[in-house]
Amino acid sequence: MIYYTGFENKTFGKIFLAKTEKGLCIVTLRQTLENFIQHLQQRFDLEITQNDQQLAPIVQQLNEYFKRRRKEFQIVIDWDCIVSSFDRKVLQKLVHVPFGQRISYQGLAQLVGKPKAARAVGNALGRNPMPIIIPCHRVVRKDGGIGGYSAGIEIKCKLLELESYQSTS
């Protein structure tokens, strides 16, 4: 069973979440409900049902984060939803980068034991199924530039600004 919900944030727009019995598996920004449901159907061979109550604690934590009242999430993640072992390793290291901090793609590559794999790390971040919760917005270029973001650079900049990081580029 996959449970999902959606909510609106005035800065970040519509946000959809989905979870399995094991934990959170999807967070999307800038997507329609129809596209979100289609994505769930393509990715999971499970029954999909809306359940706002099931996801209410996660929505509450995200809203607290958006109001700068929460710096760490207390959310169980279904790591089995991340198919690639390399992606899982990258994202599991990334959850330990604290609120307001940043790390370079190269620095994250070093943390996972692949110091020459900065590009592969960037690709893994582009496949991050749970942005914000797994904070790929905190990863920047080693020269201090913003780098990419699956939901768009403007969203990444807003998230960094929310965490009080001011870009120099």
Mean pLDDT within 153-168: 82
Q: Which of 25, 81, 136, 157 is catalytic?
A: 136
User: Does residue 35 register a pLDDT over 60?
Assistant: yes
Q: Are 29 and 81 within 8 A, CB to CB?
A: no
Q: Is the model's pTM score more than 0.85? A: yes
pLDDT band at 167; cut points 50, 70, 90:
very low
Ramachandran class of 162: left when φ > 0, alpha when ψ lies in -120 to 50, beta otherwise:
alpha
Mean pLDDT within 120-139: 96
The C-alpha atoms of residue 150 and residue 131 are separated, in whole angstroms, by: 9
Mean pLDDT within 47-75: 97
The C-alpha atoms of residue 165 and residue 59 are separated, in whole angstroms, by: 24
Task: Specify the length of the chain in residues.
Answer: 169
User: Does residue 12 register a pLDDT over 90?
Assistant: yes
- Supply the pLDDT for residue 165: 52
Mean pLDDT within 94-114: 96
Q: Are 81 and 145 within 8 A, CB to CB?
A: no
CB atoms within 10 A of CB 56: 12
Mean pLDDT within 118-133: 96
User: Does residue 86 register a pLDDT over 60?
Assistant: yes
Mean pLDDT within 138-162: 93
For the question of residue 136 being annotated catalytic, the response is yes
Mean pLDDT within 42-54: 95
Q: Which two tokens stand for residue 90?
A: 């990258």
Q: Are 22 and 34 within 8 A, CB to CB?
A: no
The C-alpha atoms of residue 42 and residue 40 are separated, in whole angstroms, by: 5
Mean pLDDT within 45-63: 97
Tokens 């080693």: give the residue: 142
